[in-house]
Amino acid sequence: MFNDIGALEVVTLVVLAVLVFGPDKLPKVIQDVTRTIRKIREFSDSAKQDIRNELGPEFKDFEFEDLNPKTFIRKQLDNDELGLKEIRNGFDLKKEMAELTDAVHGRESESSSSATSGSSTGSGGAVDMTKKREKLGLEERPPYDLDAT
Task: Determine, yes or no, domain membership for 111.
Answer: yes
Task: Determine, yes or no, domain membership for 115.
Answer: yes
Q: How many domains does the chain have?
A: 2
Q: Give residue 47's domain range.
A: 1-59
Render pLDDT for 87-121 as a digit per residue (tens, 0 to 9): 767 777 788 888 888 888 877 655 554 444 444 44
pLDDT tier at 10, thresholds 50, 70, 90: confident
Find, among 72, 69, 123, 70, the residue nearest to 98 by Cα: 123
Task: Determine, yes or no, domain membership for 16.
Answer: yes
Domain boundary among 37, 59, 81: 59
The pLDDT of residue 3 is above 60:
yes
Q: What is the mean pLDDT of the chain?
A: 75
pTM (2 decimals)?
0.41
Cα gap 55→47, rounded to integer Å: 12
Q: In this structure, are 98 and 55 located in the same domain?
A: no
Q: In this structure, are 2 and 44 located in the same domain?
A: yes
pLDDT tier at 35, thresholds 50, 70, 90: very high
Task: Determine, yes or no, domain membership for 129.
Answer: yes
Task: Determine, yes or no, domain membership for 76.
Answer: no
Q: In this structure, are 98 and 51 located in the same domain?
A: no
Q: In this structure, are 48 and 98 located in the same domain?
A: no
Task: Determine, yes or no, domain membership for 33.
Answer: yes
Find, among 53, 76, 41, the residue nearest to 62 by Cα: 53
Task: Determine, yes or no, domain membership for 141.
Answer: no
Cα gap 17→25, rounded to integer Å: 10
